[in-house]
A and B are shown apart, each in its own frame.
Chain A
Amino acid sequence: MSSDHFVRFENVDKSYDGKQLVVKGLNLDIEEGEFVTMLGPSGSGKTTCLMMLAGFETPTNGQIYLDNKVISDIPPHKRGIGMVFQNYALFPHMTVYENLAFPLRVRKIPKDEADKKVDKALSMVSLQGFEARMPMQLSGGQQQRVAVARSLVFDPKLVLMDEPLGALDKNLRESMQYEIKHIHENIGVTVVYVTHDQTEALTMSNRIAVFNDGKVQQLSSPDELYERPVNSFVAEFIGENNTFVGEVIDVSGNKCKVKLNTGTEIMANPIVAKSKGDKTTVSLRPERAIIDPEKDMDNNHKGKIEEVIYHGDHTRLRVDLLGNNDFILKIPNSSNRMDIKEGKEIKIGWNSVDCRALDPK
């Protein structure tokens, strides 16, 4: 069965050894023109999914559709999917021009037309004038751009990127993130991007598929993913997170009362744990907890500052709160909070909406 999604994974399983499933019953739809990132820890099956889409691995079970066609029987070279590899995979014996012309030459595109396309692709990554260089003569960032240009030069409708920025240093990686994002916006190609770096995923993507244990845990836009994680893995994996473990003792509308293991009761937002008696892990983003709340919030508790960590633009506090001595608070570095010291007791408040009762870990 297919529908009008551009890429569609349907109940895809993958096992390498016949004993363990690397990808379990994966369902994933990608729309045309989207920038979708597969994000997850190593071994979560994200690269395997990409390789199945590219045609270098075959699904053990299930189907993958591209443009409403089953692609399992199409060999990689006929899929017309551009790909950027982790280590760039530039052909070391060819010049930049020859590298870019390779996909055009095998498609028998006339030389003058090919020249134009190569030119256009190189200008897209601002590398005009580098045609005659060998890959070895380029810096890591330049090689990366050539690899991107090469994956786009034959106008594929889908481009796959397998941790393409992993080998670059931090500054270069950030500027390349924007560059790739802009290229995507300008030419409207569909991109499937694999990374284990959450900031990279949050910066670049339209939607992010968080992988763990061979399954997509959540597929949603970056802000949705950060603000409203659907389970405790996603909450833990994306951004920073404070957790409390407990049991739901009362539910009323969009609020629930959670009794923590220490005996304290807090108000939370029932997301996964919805009925009385459910075990739950409550998740709260550090920036949603406020020190000395002015107006009353649903939750108001006292904690003791265990550690003050100076981070330049902000200061992080590690607080012992309700039995969790790893409770992190972020405060902006403004002069009015100079009274914060280790060992001091402070009042901390937050709203129950921001405090999500998820599945127990």
Chain B
Amino acid sequence: MSQEQILSSDGIPLEESLKKAERKNKLKAVLLVAPLFLFILIIYIFPIGDMLFRSVDDRMITKMLPKTFVAMEKWDGKDLPDEPVYEGLYEDLSLLKKNKTFGKIIARLNYEKSGFSSLIKKTIRKIDKLEEGNYKEQFIKIHKRWGQAEYLVALKNTAPNWSYAKYLKGVDLKYDENRNIIQQDEDRRIYKTLWLRTINVAFWVTIFCFILAYPIAHLLATLPMKYSNLLMICVLLPFWTSLLVRTSSWMVLLQQQGPINDLIVWLGWAADDNRPELMYNVIGTFVAMTQILLPFMILPLYSVMKTISPSLMRAGKSLGGTPLVSFVKIYFPLTIPGIGAGSLLVFILAIGYYITPALVGGASGSLISNNIAYHMKSSLDWAFASALGTMLLVGVLAIYWVYNKLVGIDNIKLG
């Protein structure tokens, strides 16, 4: 028997009438989702895309020195280039001077190799006096660095539209003159330390949060309603308080003349004239971040523990397991989804934490996010800030991936 098309009662094929019936619902669903989708697109996806793009975008200088770079294509990059390169330079720089837009390339070239700043400034100052022809000789006369191949090689190295130099800088690497990747000079290696410190702080904050949160969450889940509600308020109240207020409170508590130091002195653990520094270093970062991130560990743990029936522990004991064995073999394994969720949450939040380390961290307690902020606000090297941000994002995604492989993201339970 051949497959007959099934018709609905009014003669339209069933499939078609089903689609028609569902079209309205689909439209409704799309309309309901649309505001959030647009919001995420505009506020989240677009800026992140832009950030990714900025971190590798190096077209500015290519646009400003078009003729120079065209001429440089024929140059092998070993000895000094020939006349056409200098002629191109002359034309490009003259145009830049006329438009008064040379500030940006000075900064950009000085990143590439120090010494370019004075070189370009001097050249631009004197460029009007040059006569036509034989630009190479005249350029070298203006500044002897035009006669040194390394500066011209550095210039050539800026030609590509895309550059990964910012990423290399983020891990203390750089290109040498011959485009080989080498280590940054010893006294300029700071990012590896910064990354390690960030991961270290995030890791230990997660551990401290776990140690503190586990018993609290257990109490929350098992105490009678009357007490657990009160405890829950104690957990949530700081959670609802402004981050800035909490961090500032820690500054009050931890400062050298603050109550915690007073207590230490009163207990005789330190002399009054030799009070320990609890702030503007890693200790301050640890203490404040642990307290601030604690609810993010407590709440997922609590929601998981709430679902564990108390009869399971009783069953474990009635079957002969000591309280410890019952805890290790029965209770603990059942809380792992909560531990996973809480740890992931705390670690990811901690690794990108900004305000708290900025306020109580000092120099030795500041993290990668503080450096990103520095490059956004002070040094204005947005490309580098973007590169660091992207690396942070990739790192977080990598942690997520590893977690998924080890524990499985389906096992996560946030509440």
Task: With CB as the reference atom, state the residue of chain A lying closest to B315.
Answer: A89
Is B309's CB under 8 angstroms from A89's CB?
yes
Q: Does B80 contact A (CB under 8 A)?
A: no
Q: Does A226 contact B (CB under 8 A)?
A: no
Please indicate the chain A residues that have their CB under 8 angstroms from the CB of B319 in the complex. Answer: 77, 82-83, 102-103, 106, 150-151, 154
Q: Given that A85-B311, A89-B312, A102-B316 are known contacts, is A77 also in contact with B322, CB under 8 Å in the complex?
A: yes
- Which residues in window 91-117 of A have CB below 8 A to B? 91-93, 102-103, 106-107
Interface centre among A77, A80, A103 (most CB of B within 10 A): A77
Q: Given that A76-B318, A102-B319, A106-B319 are known contacts, is A86 also in contact with B334, CB under 8 Å in the complex?
A: no
Q: Does A28 contact B (CB under 8 A)?
A: no
Q: Does B330 contact A (CB under 8 A)?
A: yes
Nearest CB in chain A: distance from B33 CB, A = 33
Nearest CB in chain B: distance from A85 CB, A = 5
The answer for the CA separation of A55 and B320 in the assembled complex, in Å, is 12
Q: Which of B311, B314, B325, B334 is the one whose CB lies under 8 Å from A76?
A: B314
Please indicate the chain B residues that have their CB under 8 angstroms from the CB of A154 in the complex. Answer: 319-320
Task: With CB as the reference atom, state the residue of chain A lying closest to B319.
Answer: A103
Q: Which of A77, A93, A150 is the one whose CB lies under 8 Å from B317?
A: A77
Is B333's CB under 8 angstroms from A93's CB?
yes
The answer for the CA separation of A55 and B318 in the assembled complex, in Å, is 8
- Which residues in window 279-318 of B have CB below 8 A to A? 309, 311-312, 314-318
- Interface residues as binary, B319-332 with A (CB distance below 8 Å gives 1, 0 otherwise): 11111011001100
Is B334's CB under 8 angstroms from A56's CB?
no
The answer for the CA separation of A160 and B309 in the assembled complex, in Å, is 19
Q: Which of A54, A90, A102 is the one whose CB lies under 8 Å from B321?
A: A102
Is A92's CB under 8 angstroms from B334's CB?
yes
Interface centre among B314, B315, B329 (most CB of A within 10 A): B315
Is B325's CB under 8 angstroms from A106's CB?
yes
Nearest CB in chain B: distance from A298 CB, A = 53
Please indicate the chain B residues that have their CB under 8 angstroms from the CB of A218 in the complex. Answer: none
Please indicate the chain A residues that have their CB under 8 angstroms from the CB of B318 in the complex. Answer: 54-55, 76-77, 79, 81-83, 151, 160
Q: Which of A87, A90, A107, A160 is the one whose CB lies under 8 Å from B320?
A: A107
The answer for the CA separation of A151 and B333 in the assembled complex, in Å, is 22
Please indicate the chain A residues that have their CB under 8 angstroms from the CB of B333 in the complex. Answer: 93
Task: With CB as the reference atom, state the residue of chain B lying closest to A107.
Answer: B320
Is B314's CB under 8 angstroms from A85's CB?
yes
Is A77's CB under 8 angstroms from B323's CB?
yes
Task: With CB as the reference atom, state the residue of chain B lying closest to A54.
Answer: B318
Please indicate the chain B residues that have their CB under 8 angstroms from the CB of A86 in the complex. Answer: 311
- Which residues in window 228-246 of A have CB below 8 A to B? none
Nearest CB in chain A: distance from B380 CB, A = 54
Number of interface residues of B (CB under 8 A): 19
Please indicate the chain B residues that have their CB under 8 angstroms from the CB of A79 in the complex. Answer: 318
Nearest CB in chain A: distance from B314 CB, A = 6
Please indicate the chain B residues that have their CB under 8 angstroms from the CB of A160 in the complex. Answer: 318
Nearest CB in chain B: distance from A122 CB, A = 16
The answer for the CA separation of A75 and B315 in the assembled complex, in Å, is 13
Please indicate the chain A residues that have their CB under 8 angstroms from the CB of B334 in the complex. Answer: 92-93
Task: With CB as the reference atom, state the residue of chain A lying closest to B322.
Answer: A77
The answer for the CA separation of A147 and B45 in the assembled complex, in Å, is 52
- Which residues in window 125-179 of A have CB below 8 A to B? 150-151, 154, 160
The answer for the CA separation of A82 and B317 in the assembled complex, in Å, is 10
Please indicate the chain B residues that have their CB under 8 angstroms from the CB of A107 in the complex. Answer: 320
Q: Given that A80-B320, A102-B321, A106-B319 are known contacts, is A89 also in contact with B314, CB under 8 Å in the complex?
A: yes
The answer for the CA separation of A55 and B315 in the assembled complex, in Å, is 11
Is A106's CB under 8 angstroms from B321's CB?
yes
- Interface residues as binary, B119-139 with A (CB distance below 8 Å gives 1, 0 otherwise): 000000000000000000000
The answer for the CA separation of A21 and B333 in the assembled complex, in Å, is 38
- Which residues in window 318-362 of B have CB below 8 A to A? 318-323, 325-326, 329-330, 333-334
Nearest CB in chain B: distance from A103 CB, A = 4
Task: With CB as the reference atom, state the residue of chain B lying closest to A91.
Answer: B330
Is A89's CB under 8 angstroms from B320's CB?
no
Interface centre among B320, B323, B326, B330 (most CB of A within 10 A): B320
Nearest CB in chain A: distance from B216 CB, A = 23
Task: With CB as the reference atom, state the residue of chain A lying closest to B321.
Answer: A106
- Interface residues as binary, B20-48 with A (CB distance below 8 Å gives 1, 0 otherwise): 00000000000000000000000000000
Please indicate the chain B residues that have their CB under 8 angstroms from the CB of A77 in the complex. Answer: 317-323, 326
Q: Which of B309, B321, B325, B330 is the one whose CB lies under 8 Å from A87?
A: B309
The answer for the CA separation of A32 and B217 in the assembled complex, in Å, is 43
Interface centre among B317, B325, B334 (most CB of A within 10 A): B317
Q: Which of A55, A80, A83, A91 is the one whose CB lies under 8 Å from B312?
A: A91
Nearest CB in chain A: distance from B335 CB, A = 10
The answer for the CA separation of A344 and B309 in the assembled complex, in Å, is 57
Nearest CB in chain A: distance from B316 CB, A = 7
Please indicate the chain A residues that have their CB under 8 angstroms from the CB of B311 in the complex. Answer: 85-87, 89
The answer for the CA separation of A89 and B312 in the assembled complex, in Å, is 5
Task: With CB as the reference atom, state the residue of chain B lying closest to A93.
Answer: B333
Please indicate the chain B residues that have their CB under 8 angstroms from the CB of A90 in the complex. Answer: 315
Is B320's CB under 8 angstroms from A106's CB?
yes
Nearest CB in chain A: distance from B131 CB, A = 86
Nearest CB in chain B: distance from A282 CB, A = 44
Task: With CB as the reference atom, state the residue of chain B lying closest to A162.
Answer: B311
Task: With CB as the reference atom, state the residue of chain B lying closest to A98.
Answer: B329
Please indicate the chain B residues that have their CB under 8 angstroms from the CB of A54 in the complex. Answer: 314, 318
Please indicate the chain B residues that have their CB under 8 angstroms from the CB of A83 in the complex. Answer: 314-315, 318-319
Task: With CB as the reference atom, state the residue of chain A lying closest to B329.
Answer: A102
The answer for the CA separation of A86 and B311 in the assembled complex, in Å, is 9
Please indicate the chain B residues that have their CB under 8 angstroms from the CB of A151 in the complex. Answer: 318-319
The answer for the CA separation of A92 and B311 in the assembled complex, in Å, is 12
Nearest CB in chain A: distance from B322 CB, A = 5
The answer for the CA separation of A107 and B319 in the assembled complex, in Å, is 9
Is B315's CB under 8 angstroms from A91's CB?
yes
Nearest CB in chain B: distance from A32 CB, A = 20
The answer for the CA separation of A92 and B333 in the assembled complex, in Å, is 10
Task: Show 20 residue pairs from A and B whose CB-CB distance is below 8 angstroms, ordered by the A residue.
Answer: A54-B318, A76-B317, A77-B321, A77-B322, A77-B326, A80-B320, A82-B318, A85-B311, A85-B314, A87-B309, A87-B311, A89-B314, A89-B315, A93-B334, A103-B319, A103-B321, A107-B320, A150-B319, A154-B319, A154-B320
Known contacts A76-B314, A89-B312; 20 further A-B pairs (Cβ under 8 A): A54-B314, A77-B317, A77-B318, A77-B320, A80-B320, A82-B318, A82-B319, A83-B315, A85-B315, A86-B311, A87-B309, A87-B311, A89-B309, A89-B315, A91-B312, A91-B316, A102-B316, A103-B319, A103-B320, A107-B320
Q: Which residues of A contact B (CB under 8 A)?
A: 54-56, 75-83, 85-87, 89-93, 102-103, 106-107, 150-151, 154, 160
